[in-house]
Structure 1
Amino acid sequence: MQLSNHAKCSRRDKELFRLLESQGALSTDQIRLLLFPGTCLRIVQRRLKKLTEAGRIRRERISIDEPYYYYSNKKPGQLEHVLGVSWIYTWVRLSLNESLSLHSFDREVTYKILRPDAFIGIKSTWSDRFTFFYAEMDIAESGHDFGDKVKRYCEYFSSGAYLDQWWVPLAKRFPVIRVVTTGNVKKLEKRIVKANSSNLEFQVFSLNTVKEECLNGRSSSPSIRVR
């Protein structure tokens, strides 16, 4: 049965509210890609403006030349970082197809010695196989040394502290750590190699590359799709 325009809006609005709660904040582009595929940007902007004026969601801009970002009630802290992780979420969602489904996307899971930006589970729809990976958003301009985060991953792995996690019986290996950075990819890769005493697998992508693939359906990196 084909849904009416009103029913489509209602269902899409509810999904938007759910996403804003789970992801913290989403930009106009991210919302369009996730909920309005193939829809003219103007139509998306009009709907978001209507929801904002009705008090259902809130919006602000980082700067006048940036698109609006939207959130539910409380404005999130570390906004650039939150929106960066939302790009990772969008990237993962858009990489799925009829043979892959998103099982979990848990932001800021807290362990004793480690707090990943996200833990992600992808399930094959044709079998019971899972792929798990961690995601990290590196804001190079923050001045934080990502090598410290690498060392915590190594400590988490070498201590065996991860072995009681729910996903371990479903995984074939310790998850890959995918890092998206606003800085220089090669420079960050060198820093990771230097700190990676446990020889864990890190994959580094630029935020611009992630955005390029999300917005244009392609990128200069052949390995960016979920594997």
Structure 2
Amino acid sequence: MPKQISVISSVNNTYKQEFVANQLVEAQISPSLLQKMRHDLIHLLYTYKNVFASDDEPLGTNKGHKVDITLNIDRPYPPVLRRPAYPASPRARGALEKHIQELIQLGVLRNVGHNDAVEVLTPVIISWHNDKSRIVGDFRELKTYTVPDRYPISIIQETLTQLSKAKYITSMDTLKVFHQMFLTPKLGNYLELSLTVVFMSILECHLVLKMNHLIIKE
């Protein structure tokens, strides 16, 4: 792999330099790229800078589209789509309450009112990795009744076909850049969660990414 150079050395615009210094501080570009290619790359990232997390917007501010799904059944929905909360240990319950408060403050979750009709209810669990917790929704039953008409995660064979024709390949790891998927009100109703503490409705889904190294290869 060729030696990498700092991204900021490819920028001569003050606003872009500030963006690079704050958001792409760890990113690097292969020196095999021509100067124009480096400028074009930085311009592209700057154009879509709202997908990056920042101190003011910890989830980014990428808006303009909403995700929706269609169920392959009509009302009344089967009881299997209205599932009670899973039992939780005191440790999991404490972690769950902490995650809920954080997600409410970020605008990802909202409380479901007593007068709101709840037709689809999904339980959640707390998963642990290296003593760190994460809240996970069990949407397997909902997926069973969902029309498979969109694929936000690329199909492997299609990705390989695209890569075989690509002139440049971008390599990113998965820890810092956020891509938001705002939900339609209808989908928000489908994504109501049954917790051990309260009913919640998801307002946004987030795919969490981190741009640690940005490498462009010819």
Shared fold (TM-score, shorter chain, > 0.5): no
Higher relative contact order (CA 8 A, sep 6+): 2
TM-score by length of 2: 0.21
TM-score by length of 1: 0.21
Q: Which has the larger radius of gyration?
A: 2
Counting strand residues as a fraction of each chain, which structure ranks higher? 2
Counting helix residues as a fraction of each chain, which structure ranks higher? 1
